[in-house]
Amino acid sequence: MKFTVERDVLADAVAWTSRAVPARPPVPVLAGVRITADAEGLVRLASFDYEVSARGEFPADVEEAGEVLVSGRLLREIANALPHKPVELSLEGTKVSVTCGASRFTLATMPVDQYPSLPELPEHSGTIDGATLQQAVAQVTSAASRDETLPILTGVRVEIEGSHISLLATDRYRLALRELEWTPSQPDISAVALVRAKTLADTAKALGAGEVTVALSSGQGMDLIGFEAGGLVTTSLLMDGDYPQVRRLFPDSSPITATVRTQDLIDATRRVALVAERNSSVRLAFAEGEVTLDAGQSDDAQASEALTAHLHGEPITVAFNPQYLLDGLSALGSDFVQLGFTQETKPVEFVGLSEPGGEVAADFRYLLVPIRIAS
């Protein structure tokens, strides 16, 4: 095997493919990236950890076709460190030589015949704008759990009905719902999938803008979701289990609402939270015309700050985990935020507004459980 390609092309393909290389592989060959060069001038890279697969391809000047398996970690580090010049990869006995300008590396090969077959991409289910997918996934994954003792909550529930997709994530303390449109292959498609939040977030971020093809297969032997864009392909096994019925937790109406400029509330929360002790809260007291934030239970430090707010209903005081509050506010992406209250101890709904009294941005909703305030 021998081919030449531009450094950036190689580095991008290696960065994408090595994402599926496990940090602690169960078998040694899974630490590798498979490189296949064909006589037509196409090079394909592949990795697999039995759950997530990643494939990338690019055109190259192929002198000799062939296939090798080398360390994914080392290949990524070498590709990123190379100068911006053409790169030549060649198989020399049991070693792969990487030459770029005056730099030369040699990598030991692994037995490529022992590398497992990658799952095939399921039949295409539809397409979606990559930038929209990236934004939507980023909004909901902040609410997904990171506690592996409750694995079902580390996933994002994907609900597909025709041209409509709903993404749901929760860690029991907050709940995020994002609704978006896509172009399905079949107008009457209906499907539900549970995808690991980290896998979904990494994939959406790596694919970037442009059209992304989504492929979903469930109830047909192997339950998979796949994404494809610009020569990059990834598949992931779907998670098993029954996701809790969380959509019903969103209130039908809120008797008390308060509207605040989003960035002002983010900045004030960050400042006031500086004195909040670990696992303590930031309190928000809403009254006519303003909201007062305060934190700090000990004699060492306290902080408070007042902001302009538009309150409809009775005055109310709530307390939140400051990081959960910041996650929700940052995900909104709107000039103003409307907080909807039912009771002081009930979850509070956050939705975006372009201006006070304006139309609610119904495509993203964030529900946050308040912390009980000590009497």
Return the structure tokens found at 212: 């992304």
pTM of the predicted structure, to 2 decimals: 0.91
Q: Determine the Cα–Cα distance for residues 308 and 265; give it in Å rounded to an integer.
A: 10
The pLDDT, as a whole number, for residue 276 is 86
Written as tens digits, the pLDDT of the chain (375 aa) is 999 999 999 999 999 999 899 989 999 999 999 999 999 999 999 999 999 999 999 999 999 999 999 999 999 999 999 999 999 999 999 999 999 999 999 999 999 999 999 999 899 999 999 999 999 999 999 999 999 889 999 999 999 999 999 999 999 999 999 999 999 999 999 999 999 999 999 999 999 879 999 999 876 667 999 999 988 999 999 999 899 999 999 998 999 999 999 999 999 999 999 998 877 899 999 999 999 999 987 777 899 999 999 999 999 999 999 999 999 999 999 999 999 999 888 999 999 999 888 888 889 999 999 998 865
Q: Which class is domain 250-368?
A: alpha beta
Q: Domain segments of the chain: what residues?
A: 2-114, 124-247, 250-368
Task: Please give the C-alpha separations between residue 201 and each of 75, 112, 135, 221, 257, in angstroms, as whole numbers.
Answer: 24, 30, 10, 25, 32
Residue closest to 208 by CA, chosen among 69, 357, 16: 16
The pLDDT, as a whole number, for residue 31 is 96
Q: Can you tell me whether residue 201 is helix, strand or coil? A: helix
Q: Determine the Cα–Cα distance for residues 117 and 188; give it in Å rounded to an integer.
A: 33
Q: Which class is domain 124-247?
A: alpha beta
CATH 3.90.1150.10 fits domain 2-114 = no
2-114 and 124-247, same CATH topology: yes
Q: Can you tell me whether residue 197 is helix, strand or coil? A: helix
To the nearest 10 degrees (0 to 180), the angle between helices 72-81 and 7-17 is 150
